[in-house]
Amino acid sequence: MAIDPASDPVPFPVLIGDIGGTNARFALIADRDAPTELLPPVATADFPDVEAAIEAVLAGSGPRPRSAIVDGAGPITEHGVDLTNADWNIRPAETIRRTGMEDMILLNDFEALALALTALQPADLAPIGNVPAGRSGAKVVLGPGTGLGVGALIQAGGLWAPVPGEGGHVALGPVEADEFPVWAHIEPEHGRISAEAILCGRGLVRLYRAVAAADGADAVLTRPAEITEAALAGADAVSVRTLSLWRRLLGRFAGDMALIFMARGGAYIGGGIPPRILPFLQDGEFRRAFEAKAPHEEMMAAIPVWVMTGENPALAGLSAFARTPERFGVALSGRRWRSGGT
């Protein structure tokens, strides 16, 4: 049965949660007009399941939540979500039983990030290129972090409707001449080379090894942070070339996603990596790759691109939905659970 969140909102206090492959972030909202109370973030690897993590972050906090709105990094099924890059299997019926909550809504993580596009302030965004701001139309959001998520936000019938997706798992291949030698050394993941296999933390390391092999150099770095730090400092030629190629590929992928959704309202780059490498993204190469979509270069040049630099943007999206569900067209059939199975 379809459940309209506008006419049947979740009861307060509401626990909101953004659960990624590495970290889980939670907050409490006491009532519709109350401020959002951030709870301590936790690492998914530190807890056997989401219920244990919830009990840990709620210890010593305010009133127990009556409901939860949680996003998970993976496709949602009739039973819940199995996180793509972590060992948690979120089963809302079990979460309700173990925590005593009455109501739980489960969204895709980039569906929540798309909702955040209605709540972000100018201080939460850094532009890539000199493009017009505030344009109307569909918006697309993507984010390289532990994985590579994609979502969109469209307006329909006066409502903002988030569109979840698994666009990070589309295939990615070489286009420019200097990319082909590198591609010969990229290690496949699950038998193929997807966008996520390169445009995420582990993908940055994979690309670094391929660049080193193509250049006949030693791959001495093993962690994404080491590669980005060395590249930003100009301390290692392989790291500089790796991050330069990585941002080009990210720009190309972002442009592809903007084309798919005809995102005249802008492309928004989230995830944990982009804010840390902002100088690399703003030097023009990302924008060049983003716009290189013949025969639609002129249209692409008019699409604004932003890096989401604010803290906890997905929680901002979940909070906006919890407080004002009447603004959003979110289909909850098969994604809302209540105590007693109703």
CA-angle at 19, arms to 18 and 23, nearest 5°: 110
DSSP, res 65:
P
Q: What's the pLDDT tens digit per position in 79-98?
A: 898 887 788 999 999 999 99
Q: What does the H/E/C string look like for 89-150? A: EECHHHHHHHHCCCEEEEEEHHHHHHHHCCCCCHHHEEECCCCCCCCCCCEEEEEECCCEEE
Would you list the domain boundaries of the chain? 14-109+314-341, 121-308
Which candidate, 275, 301, 270, places its Cα nearest to that of 287?
A: 301
Q: What local confidence, expressed as pLDDT, does residue 134 receive?
A: 54
Q: What CATH superfamily is the domain 14-109+314-341?
A: ATPase, nucleotide binding domain (3.30.420.40)
Closest by alpha carbon to 106, among 68, 153, 57? 68
Question: Token pair for residue 203?
Answer: 């993908």
DSSP conformation letters of 161-222: EEEEE-GGGSB----SGGGHHHHTTPPPBTTB-BSTTTSSHHHHHHHHHHHHHHHT------
Sign of the CA dihedral with 96 first, then 102, 108, and 112 last = negative
What pLDDT digit, counting tens, does each position of 25-62 carry? 999 999 999 999 999 999 999 999 999 999 999 997 77
Q: Has domain 121-308 been given CATH number 3.30.300.30?
A: no
What single string gives the DSSP state of each residue in 31-59? STTSPEEE---EEGGGSSSHHHHHHHHHT
- CA–CA dist 50, 153 (Å, integer): 27
342 residues of the chain, pLDDT tens digit each: 345 666 688 999 999 999 988 889 999 999 999 999 999 999 999 999 999 999 999 997 778 999 999 998 878 888 898 887 788 999 999 999 999 999 999 998 889 999 999 988 889 999 998 766 556 789 999 999 888 989 999 988 889 999 988 888 999 999 999 999 999 999 999 999 999 999 999 999 999 999 999 999 999 999 999 999 999 999 999 999 999 999 999 999 999 999 999 999 999 999 889 999 999 999 899 999 999 999 999 999 999 999 999 888 999 999 999 999 999 999 888 899 998 765
Residues 6+ apart with CB under 8 A from 55: 99
Global confidence as pTM = 0.88
- How far apart CA 13 and CA 6 sit, in angstroms, is 17
pLDDT by residue (tens digit) across 232-254? 999 999 999 999 999 999 999 99
What DSSP element (H or E) covers 302?
none
CA end-to-end distance (rounded Å), the chain? 10
